[in-house]
């Protein structure tokens, strides 16, 4: 049974951050959304991705939003996830560079989680997100699944949640998450995500 958080304001421990996490799901394949006919991107599946490559792309896409969970994993733990036979990792390529990440996790029978989805900041607003999501949905539903799901949080891009809803996902759960500020633990640079104020203990 979930513990109820009392209404009102709650002090956080020094150096901690709190976010609202929204979970969304798709119970049947959504129609493909219109996309650019001249799309300059390609999608490449990365078989057996190296930890260093994965972390570099993860930082490129996520450091503006304080993504840190995968950076905190030990090498063995990270490799166990991203090289698992039921986890598919893709890079969105633009002008010969990896500029976006898509991770599909089929480890739960009959379901697929979009573990990570995002673009380098320079591609936001170009149509690349819609293009990438169209391919994520098609790839996920090419398997024998009955549910595609993901989650986002209140520190992600303000456009993330409405984008997922427009893509056909339906919100079904909210949770609160408290965690150490990764800029204070050394996982991310102290100047990362300046739009989220850093409070030194």
pLDDT tens per residue, range 125-177: 999 999 999 999 999 999 999 999 999 999 999 999 999 999 999 999 999 99
CATH number at residue 167: 3.40.630.30
Residue 197 lies in a domain: no
Q: What is the pLDDT of residue 135?
A: 98
Overall domain count for the chain: 1
Tell which residue, 59, 51, 69, 151, has the closest CA to residue 98.
Answer: 59
Q: Are 33 and 167 in contact (CB under 8 A)?
A: yes
From the list 177, 124, 118, 196, the residue with the least C-alpha distance to 150 is: 118
Task: State the pLDDT at residue 99.
Answer: 98
pLDDT at 198: 97
Phi, psi of 26 (to 5 degrees): -135, 120
> What are the tens digits of pLDDT across the range 41-91?
999 999 999 999 999 999 999 999 999 999 999 999 999 999 999 999 999
Residue-number span of the structural domain to which 142 is assigned: 25-30+40-179
- 54 within a domain of the structure (yes/no): yes
Q: What is the pLDDT of residue 3?
A: 64
Model confidence pLDDT, tens digit, residues 87-107: 999 999 999 999 999 999 999
Position 1 in a domain: no
Q: Is residue 192 included in any domain, yes or no?
A: no
- Two structure tokens written together for 91: 């890079």
Q: What is the pLDDT of residue 5?
A: 83
Quick one: average pLDDT of 112-127? 97
Query: pLDDT class for 4, splitting at 50, 70, 90?
Result: confident
Q: Spell out the residues 6+ positions from residue 39 whose beta carbon is closer than 8 angstroms to its own.
A: 127, 128, 131
**Which of the four pLDDT bands, split at 50, 70 and 90, describes residue 1?**
low
pLDDT reported for residue 41:
98
Identify whether 187 is part of a domain.
no
- Indicate whether 46 belongs to any domain: yes
Would residue 84 count as lying in a domain? yes
Q: Does 127 reside within a domain? A: yes
193: tokens are: 């995500």
Residue showing tokens 């595609």: 148
Residue 118 has a pLDDT of 98
Specify the pTM: 0.95
Write the CA distances from 198 to 1, 16, 157, integer angstroms: 33, 10, 17
């Amino acid at each position: 049974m979930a513990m109820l958080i009392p209404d009102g304001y709650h002090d956080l421990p020094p150096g901690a951050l709190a976010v609202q996490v929204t979970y969304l799901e798709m119970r049947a394949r959504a129609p493909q959304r219109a996309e650019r006919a001249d799309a300059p991107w390609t999608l490449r599946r990365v078989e057996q991705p190296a930890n260093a490559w994965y972390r570099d792309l993860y930082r490129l896409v996520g450091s503006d939003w304080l993504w840190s969970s995968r950076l905190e994993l030990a090498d063995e733990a990270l490799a166990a996830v991203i090289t698992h036979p039921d986890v598919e990792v893709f890079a969105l390529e633009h002008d010969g560079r990896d500029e976006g990440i898509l991770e599909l996790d089929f480890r739960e029978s009959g379901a697929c989680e979009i573990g990570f989805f995002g673009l380098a900041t320079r591609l936001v607003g170009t149509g690349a997100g819609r293009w990438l999501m169209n391919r994520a949905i098609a790839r996920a539903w090419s398997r024998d699944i009955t549910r595609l799901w993901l989650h986002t949080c209140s520190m992600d891009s303000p456009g993330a949640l409405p984008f997922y809803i427009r893509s056909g996902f339906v919100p079904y759960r909210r949770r609160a998450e408290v965690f150490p500020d990764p800029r204070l633990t050394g996982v991310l640079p102290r100047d990362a995500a300046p739009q989220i104020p850093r409070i030194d203990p």
